[in-house]
A and B are shown apart, each in its own frame.
Chain A
């Protein structure tokens, strides 16, 4: 047997049980902590951590972050009063085209809480080749403002058992015009 293993085993055998227990718990917690620090991933892909410099302090989740779902988890598609047609109508009536040669996609991802309130809005943008790029702020600021004004989100999965969930909207932009709203 490896002499180092023998020595460690000998020492652990002679430690009082409570101290040994504390040692084991501390080792477990520190290993969990270091594992989390080393990982580049959050709980799930697309999770949004709260940020007091960005987020409305009035927006609260109803449940733990650990059980926040995705909009498609109950298979009902997008849950909005009037469905996607209503969302399209709102954007097409409010968005003013910007005369600029910029095309690509803008995603605004956010959380809907159990009361149907939206918060933690985050934006990613790309050109038509899926390369990260920033659109003119006249485009993105309009889309963010309209997204934040949407007030018809429904709870997931239903009113009797409401949960928090992630939702996103993707806007396809062509030459400053809004031509598609997804998903």
Chain B
């Protein structure tokens, strides 16, 4: 079973999940050059996105049409995941140059997730919002709406009130369903601003949607600040239990904002004994 899970996770992690565009669509719109480039890019099928064969197939596609934004983006991903911010940025900039509406979401999200380039991410997300009249959508891994991402970037550059306002507005949208970490981040923001009651309310909502070690840890901090030491202890015990069960913020590539670690839970348990 373990080997099966390893195999499945390897497959999902090793092969990128961008859907290949329908090459015939380019033909339908009369763009035969992009159609041919698109067909050429399909030769990377079955090759790992880091591999020579994968990269060379995309180079061949770009020789046919140097404005094929999709090829730049899928070429960039191996550089992103290997931490080569210089090559990644050069490639993704080309993709954005030729298809800003289609690729700004990816560049903005990656600037936040992989490089903590908060100002750059805000600029990309806000530019995308100015270009389109539809929902700007989610970051690449699907865990964060780009509005929530934008809010976290504002928090990181020292504008927590703006971050709270953006998240509150998004969560009040009746057409929006909260994502796995939205209420957690909102709760942490309230807590950091000294609004314990609001923090507890948000973190309880997080508990009902996606109960994690993190929301239990932060709610324990809020209870300690209010002097509710029994609730502090109970939630820390639950945080420890969830952490050890793997119910915590996790991403295979990067580290989440507001993530906590076992040693922090243990340290806070000792604080409660003082």
A-side residues, CB < 8 A to B, are 39, 41-46, 70, 72-78, 82-85, 105, 107, 109, 124, 126, 128, 130-132, 157, 166, 168, 170, 172, 180, 182-183
Contacts and interface: CB of A to CB of B under 8 A. Distances in A.
9 contacts: A44-B51, A45-B79, A73-B14, A74-B10, A77-B252, A124-B85, A126-B86, A170-B85, A182-B254
A75 B9 contact: yes
A170 B82 contact: no
Most B-side CB within 10 Å, residue of A46, A132, A168: A46
Main secondary structure, interface of A, reads: mixed
Contacts of B81: 70, 72
Interface of B: 6, 9-10, 13-14, 48, 50-52, 55-56, 78-79, 81-86, 88-90, 114-117, 250-255, 261, 263-264
Contacts of A41: 52, 55-56
A121 B225 CA distance: 45
10 cross-chain pairs, A with B, having the tightest CB-CB distances, nearest first? A46-B82, A130-B89, A44-B50, A45-B78, A168-B83, A41-B52, A85-B261, A75-B252, A183-B254, A72-B252
Interface centre among A75, A77, A124, A172 (most CB of B within 10 A): A75
A182 B255 contact: yes
A81 B250 CA distance: 16
A119 B252 CA distance: 22
B242 to A, nearest CB: 16
Contacts of B250: 77
Contact of A46 (B84, B85, B116, B117): B84
Contact of B13 (A75, A82, A107, A126): A75
A109 B252 contact: no
Given A130-B86, A130-B89, A130-B90, 8 more contacts: A44-B51, A70-B82, A76-B252, A105-B85, A124-B85, A130-B85, A170-B83, A170-B114
Contacts of B261: 82-85
A73 B261 CA distance: 22
A132 B51 CA distance: 24
Contacts of A78: 255
A130 B50 CA distance: 21
B120 to A, nearest CB: 9
Contact of B6 (A44, A105, A157): A157
A39 B9 CA distance: 30
B78 A107 contact: no
Contacts of A45: 50, 55, 78-79, 82, 84
A46 B51 CA distance: 10
